[in-house]
Structure 1
Amino acid sequence: MNADTRVKNAPVVGPGGRAKLASPGAKRRGRFDILPYALVTPLALFIISLALIPALFTIVASFFKDQALNPPVRFNGFENFVNLFNDAGVLSSMGNTVIYVLVGVILSTVLAVFFAVILRKKFLGRSLLIAVLILPWALPGVVNGIIWSNIWDSNTGLVNSLLTSMHLIDTYQVFLGQNKFMTILAIEMVQVWQITPLSTLLVLASMQNIPDELYEAASLDGGSPWKVFWSVTLPLTAPGITIAMVQAVIATLNIFDQPYILNGAASTGASVTMQTYFISFQNLDFGQGYALSLIITIVTLVLSLGILKLVYRPVEY
């Protein structure tokens, strides 16, 4: 053993005069490790450039009057927000969006839990069924809208043909454009069809983490399948249900493709996001467009946090 090795492994006198060997990593603890920061920096810059900076710009611009046909841009405080809440078209679209959110979140969550219970246990063709289930979610909203426009068509639509052949209706019905609630319901069925697969996968992933021993213990205690579902499955699936509901809230609050493809610019099914498009790119009033976008963002955050507070429960097995 040379002198350098003896010095490196020399005992260090600790408290009370007891000797202890110096830790080989003692010198490394004081050294700054740049690798974690180097790995995170590209993602952080990406988020800042594509999310935080546009969000900050939207907040600032929503307090300015920015009309392409009425320059110059000037500060007007809360005037954009006041004008929005005095606009009949915006108020109507807000009411429509409330129905979209209620129907979409509730129905997609219920269907997601139902399908997740079916898919939890392995059976022949389960993998194929999951693959088919993902297809509506994988298709763009515009494609879904075009497909369903043929289904809801008042002249040659599949729904009218089925209802007529089953003698439930005598003549073909117009589902889109006339009755407001029927129009919103028909449009939201299309979005539910699209967002339910993702919600199902989220709930299924949470459900598969539940140990089988809990189900066996519940069965030994004499619990019926319905009671086991309410007492074991549903509470322990709360994290997955919470995420599914949050993504459904985000999707329904920002619904655009389906109502625009199926119902055009008609007010019977117009959403708040559609109004943002009309105000910004048809009326060329970018200030009010920014303000309405900010309102949508705030409502999305509030509803998402509310769901996290009310639905989410920490799970320990």
Structure 2
Amino acid sequence: MTRALAEAHSERAGAPHAAGAPLARRRRRIDLLPYALVAPFALFVVLLAIVPAAWTIGLSFFHDAALDPPVRFAGFQNFITAFSSSSILQSSGNTVVYMVVGVVLSTIIGTAAALLLQTSFRGRSVVIAVLILPWALPGIVAGLIWVNVFDANTGLLNSVLTSLHVITDYRVWVGDNRLLTVFLIELVQVWQMVPLSALLILAALQNVPDELYEAARLDGCSGWALIRRISVPLARPGIAIAAVQSVVATLNIFDQPYALNGQADAGASLTMQTYFVSFQNLDFGQGYALALVIAVATVIVSFGVLKLVYRQVEY
């Protein structure tokens, strides 16, 4: 009798635990679900971003040249040797010019285009679709298109300028003068970057309430005052993102100068020199060092531009 009562008591005592066990397991599965969903993306980032970055950082301090084995620790020698080269120093200067011209022009033109597209008009969707086309082109394709524009013998630019009597003879536009070469190559990249900048800034402008414009008009604000006091300040998050993407694109420019000017130093960028050092000279240690310099410069300049331009907006 006592044993039967004890067994019945134990069954009643264990019943809640038995009923609660599936619920606890279900809760554990639900808690693990977000991690399971994020895991593939996290693995992708680790394998394709963090691991190569760590590999680059590590090997940039080693002498790794296929024509001068074996691999050995070199400290900062790769950086010193790389930046002792006149070609790399000139390419660094070119890259700075690419960045300054590209960021300024793409941001200003992108902001102007976004302000024009902010108002509704007939054919607006068609204009936006056409605007996206340059951005959709690969950089090497855009470069080859503009080769026909700048060609010294049959180029469209020479043809138009001679027809308008601006110049009397056909000229070499790309490759003759260093600053002109860099500027014209960067114009091609700006032509490609402006659509994305305009769309990013336009997205920020679409979030500005119409009531703010109506109230400003009632207070007597002109169109220019609306742009200066409402549109541009409230679109600064979008402008900041557009400027940062321009920084990343210009500091890593490769396709346009390679298509327009080949391997000539006049328009070479630091990314091009990284390619030449790594795959032509087969000095992978210096290539890793240059890649690390470009990556660090991109992060620092992007952060600086973000801090300079970005402001939190509250409506």
Equivalent position of 1:106 in the other structure: 104
Q: Of 182, 191, 194, which aligns to 1:193?
A: 191
Equivalent position of 1:130 in the other structure: 128
Q: Of 256, 259, 262, which aligns to 2:257?
A: 259
Query: Which deviations, in whole Å up to 9, do the C-alpha atoms of 1:140-170 show, x marking residues without a partner?
Result: 1111011000011111111111111111111
1:309 aligns with 2:307: yes
CA shift, 1:284, in A, is 0.5
CA shift, 1:53, in A, is 0.2
Query: Within 1, Cα distance between the matches of 2:162 and 2:206?
Result: 42
CA shift, 1:308, in A, is 1.2
Q: Note the residue ranges of structure 1 that are not aligned, 5 or more in a row.
A: 9-25
Map residues 86-235 of structure 1 onto 2, 5 A cutoff.
Answer: 86-235=84-233
Query: Within 1, Cα distance between the matches of 2:170 and 2:231?
Result: 43
Q: Note the residue ranges of structure 2 that are not aligned, 5 or more in a row.
A: 1-11, 17-22
CA shift, 1:101, in A, is 0.3
Equivalent position of 1:13 in the other structure: none
CA shift, 1:122, in A, is 1.2
Map residues 214-293 of structure 1 onto 2, 5 A cutoff.
Answer: 214-293=212-291
Equivalent position of 1:57 in the other structure: 55
Query: Within 2, Cα distance between the matches of 1:303 and 1:262?
Result: 26
Query: Per the alignment, do residues 49 and 27 of structure 1 end up closer, same or farther by CA in structure 2, a change over 3 Å counting?
Result: closer
Equivalent position of 1:299 in the other structure: 297
Question: Could you tell me the percent identity over the aligned residues?
Answer: 60
Query: Within 2, Cα distance between the matches of 1:47 and 1:152?
Result: 40
- Aligned residues: CA RMSD: 1.7
Query: Within 2, Cα distance between the matches of 1:83 and 1:224?
Result: 58
CA shift, 1:27, in A, is 6.9
- Identify, as 1 or 2, the structure richer in helix: 2
Q: What SS does the corresponding residue of 2:129 show, helix, strand or coil?
A: helix
Q: What SS does the corresponding residue of 1:34 show, helix, strand or coil?
A: helix
Equivalent position of 1:14 in the other structure: none
Q: Which residue identity is paired with 1:252?
A: T
Query: Which deviations, in whole Å up to 9, do the C-alpha atoms of 1:82-141 show, x marking residues without a partner?
Result: 112211111000000010000000000011001001111111111011011101110111
Query: Within 1, Cα distance between the matches of 2:235 and 2:277?
Result: 41
TM-score (norm 1): 0.90
Equivalent position of 1:37 in the other structure: 35
Query: Which deviations, in whole Å up to 9, do the C-alpha atoms of 1:252-289 show, x marking residues without a partner?
Result: 00100110110011111000000000100011000000
CA shift, 1:31, in A, is 4.2
CA shift, 1:29, in A, is 11
Equivalent position of 2:9 in the other structure: none
Query: Per the alignment, do residues 305 and 29 of structure 1 end up closer, same or farther by CA in structure 2, a change over 3 Å counting?
Result: farther
Query: Per the alignment, do residues 313 and 28 of structure 1 end up closer, same or farther by CA in structure 2, a change over 3 Å counting?
Result: farther
CA shift, 1:38, in A, is 0.4
Query: Per the alignment, do residues 107 and 30 of structure 1 end up closer, same or farther by CA in structure 2, a change over 3 Å counting?
Result: same
Q: Which residue identity is paired with 1:309?
A: K
